[in-house]
Amino acid sequence: MANGLQKPTIRDIARHCGVSMNTVSRVLNEKAGVGPETRARIQQVMESLDYHPHIGARSLRSKRMAGCIGVTLSAPLDVAPVSQRFLVWLFSELYKTFGVRGERLCFDMNPHGATPISDYGRCVWENLFTVCLVAGPLATDDTIVERIHQSGVPYLALSRLDRFPECSCATVDYEKAAYLGTKYLLGRGHGKVAMLKAFTGYQPGVERCRGYAQAMEESGKIVDDRLVRSVSFDPQELAATVHGLLVDEEVTGLLDCSGSEDGASIREGARRAGRVPGQDFEVVCWTYEDGRTVLQEACAHIWLPVQEAASDGLRQLAAWYFQEQEGPIKVVYPPILTEEVALGEISVPQRLFIPAQ
């Protein structure tokens, strides 16, 4: 049986379960011919032993070359439903930093639901990725990124993690963004400021709450958890949540750090509550495009240069991989609050995240 110095093999799994290696192979390849109880027992043993098939060895047998610049998603798509636009942009950035130098690219698009063992680091353990880009938010209890760090593979997470400050990352300061937005509304005389936030249980969500709480406490305000509402990227849920907050007429300030970039749903929620943005309450919205307005009636917008930070991080990741600089990478871009809008409202938002269809 495998120990701390040796990875388990398919033979170990078969011996542990009392089945043939062919049976284990059928489970791994999701083929028929294995009873449900036996299949479940094999999957449970694989998970308990942290077993992963060696894709590098498979590729040698099939005469394919192993090793590529890989992208994996740290959160399920229902948590962070990345848009097609973002993926196309990311592919373009990877091509500019790696593809032009002859490297192969690979996207592992569903490490959370396509296999018996949900693990976004699986292509690192399987020796398929020679470089790993972890796209999406990191869960507060995440341990996989630390294992990737210890593997020695050059990597970059597009999120940081309180519990693992050594993490190689390229992101923006969501805590400061929430602080700036809340402080701005309080400075305009709003006594009761509510906040829409995303990514509950994930680092960016924790940072949003921390920035909001800091601004409230500095202004001598008691943090009322009922005014901090978690939302997904579903427009109907967003509108309903805005309505739920604004039925309280004492709420005159709203910080939209949901990441949805959905001004229409904010208007709809306000309409249901009999409120009008820019008249009887004020909004500070977040946007991911410089100089673009999400909600025309907003008193201010906060630009989060997520793509700019990622581009910087990817350039440094390529330099790390090609031994032009050492890792890990630390890129944390500051947010920018502005009351001026250069290009006007985004009528059809080009979002980083879209709700699942």
> pLDDT tens for residues 326-337?
999 999 999 999
Sheet of 105-108, strands arranged across: 105-108, 68-73, 129-135, 155-157, 169-172, 330-333
Helix (H, G, I), strand (E, B) or coil at 151: helix
**Domain 1-51: assigned CATH number:** 1.10.260.40
We find that the CATH architecture of domain 174-305 is: 3-Layer(aba) Sandwich (3.40)
Work out the mean pLDDT of the chain and round it to a whole number: 88
Give 53-64 pLDDT, tens digit per residue. 654 444 434 434
What DSSP state is assigned to residue 221?
A: P
Ranges in the chain annotated CATH 3.40.50.2300? 174-305
Contact 125, 52 (CB under 8 A): yes
CB atoms within 10 A of CB 120: 24
pTM: 0.79
Q: Is 5 exposed, middle or buried (0-12, 13-18, 19+ CB in 10 A)?
A: exposed
- Locate CATH 1.10.260.40 in the chain: 1-51
Predicted pLDDT of residue 55: 47
Q: Which residues of the chain have pLDDT under 50?
A: 1-4, 55-65
Question: Residue 348: its pLDDT value, please?
Answer: 57
